[in-house]
Structure 1
């Protein structure tokens, strides 16, 4: 895979001599969380601020995923980058890639992914604790934004695979909210129709336990549109939630 650099940020990175894999790999930064050390390697996230812009730089070594097309493994960032690009092509709101590259160095498979920070956005997980005291109009705007995001995702023939509150980022724009997705590593094409859609949506509803029945209906109304059978979808989602609870 060729190195990728977003044209909008190329000059900014060049001004700071950070427009190459080697420079971004060697850059000394403080990690924002503990490294992931699964899969026989490691993966770490750093925050990078340049002039008036902020980014997240993710670096990994031998942190691989194995698939039929890559039986020997490929960096998980490679898959995530492809999904970011696919979302962009399909018009699904999601995080934006600024730089991607991978290298083989002394037996290591290294990869790095630089994305724009979502500093003016708030994930749904942060909003849920105050849900009960949030004005009704604001709650409805959030529910509508989440439902419309899921609708666009599935209408584009994709399932997210981790459609959780912490992966849905929201931004207020007047009286409405807009929403986008992060963490696209597990995204894949929807192959099984409504079965895939139910499987994708149920984890969100299970984690958003503060949502009332009316909230769930509002979310589904935005997701389905006026012509869909609400009772049918509620029944399928409830049945899957009970199945997951039994198997937990």
Structure 2
């Protein structure tokens, strides 16, 4: 089986990168080093993998599609420390790649667009074991991750990603760079988890719930949105201006709101 005999599978959300210039630009942005603890999610047919291995011969990859495993093993057989984990990245335990003596993970990947948001949330749960992350995602998803208060794309994803990480929207990747061509533009994003959270919440589960509830009906005021979490007396006791909409609050203000609700007895 050669690398050209594998057809992209719609159910896996596969679109294989085929533009050498873009591939080089992505790897240059990652700047892999020989001693990195590097893991690639969804290596596909190895377009990015090949350049990563040249710089960092010890590489872990997580690939769901069983039919790609023999292609990758044959292609990179000369690399003894190349390891494939045939697994669903949504369920994979990334902490297993960080034993006590190993450096923090550097995670890269051309993420399937159909699972990108839940996968990002899964990866954020390992933020303490991650040095940085570089992903190719649908352009709109990257815009949501990097959005600021007041912007149309600002919402739950951006707030929770920015709670844990610095976000950089690096550059666009047009559909022509893939086989088959996706129907949307893509973008490369860099996430740098904070060593110390700038605005740590007293109960991060409550913060997640508050943000989720607040954006379920984003055109309504916070007072209306938070009714399912807190009673009128608790809402009246808040110092946060709950006549605002959710899109007007910064990450720090959402943390302060969630801490206030916790102090008033609101639980997840």
Please say whether Structure 1 and Structure 2 have the same fold, judged by a TM-score greater than 0.5.
no
Larger radius of gyration: 2
**More strand, by proportion:** 1
TM-score by length of 2: 0.27
